Amino acid sequence: MIGLNENAPVIFLLNGPGTLMRGQLYQKSSWKSGDVFGYGIIFPSKKDSKILPYVFFTKNGRRIGNKFSLKKDTDNLFPYFKLRSCSIEINFGNDLENEPFVYNTLKHNI
């Protein structure tokens, strides 16, 4: 499980039943109604064997913080949402023509 901690400036990676494997600081920012947060995961091509898979977060179409490197054999990643008195709308990219991502993935640099 990978996510942003709402109480501290930490991106976290959990393994199994809540065991914290790793945490990294990210750019702390304010959050308000209408903000759009995104999460991306990059698996480099096999020819780029020195580049580890990584995740990144976005806010309103702009990257926030640094990339978060994963172990080479990382799998079983899934999104997790913890809410307090709010609602969310999720876009997994199944209809990008009518509901495109706010973050422009075509301009993403590794």
Residue in this structure with the two tokens 């109604």, named with its chain if needed:
33
| DSSP assignment letter at 105 | G
Give the H/E segment covering residue 40.
strand 37-42
Residue 25 pLDDT > 70: no
Residue 49, Ramachandran bin (φ over 0: left; ψ between -120 and 50: alpha; else beta): alpha
Q: How high is the pLDDT of residue 28?
A: 58
Angle at 107 between CA 104 and CA 110, to 5 degrees: 115
Using pLDDT thresholds of 50, 70 and 90, give the confidence band for residue 70. Answer: confident
Give the H/E segment covering residue 24.
strand 19-25
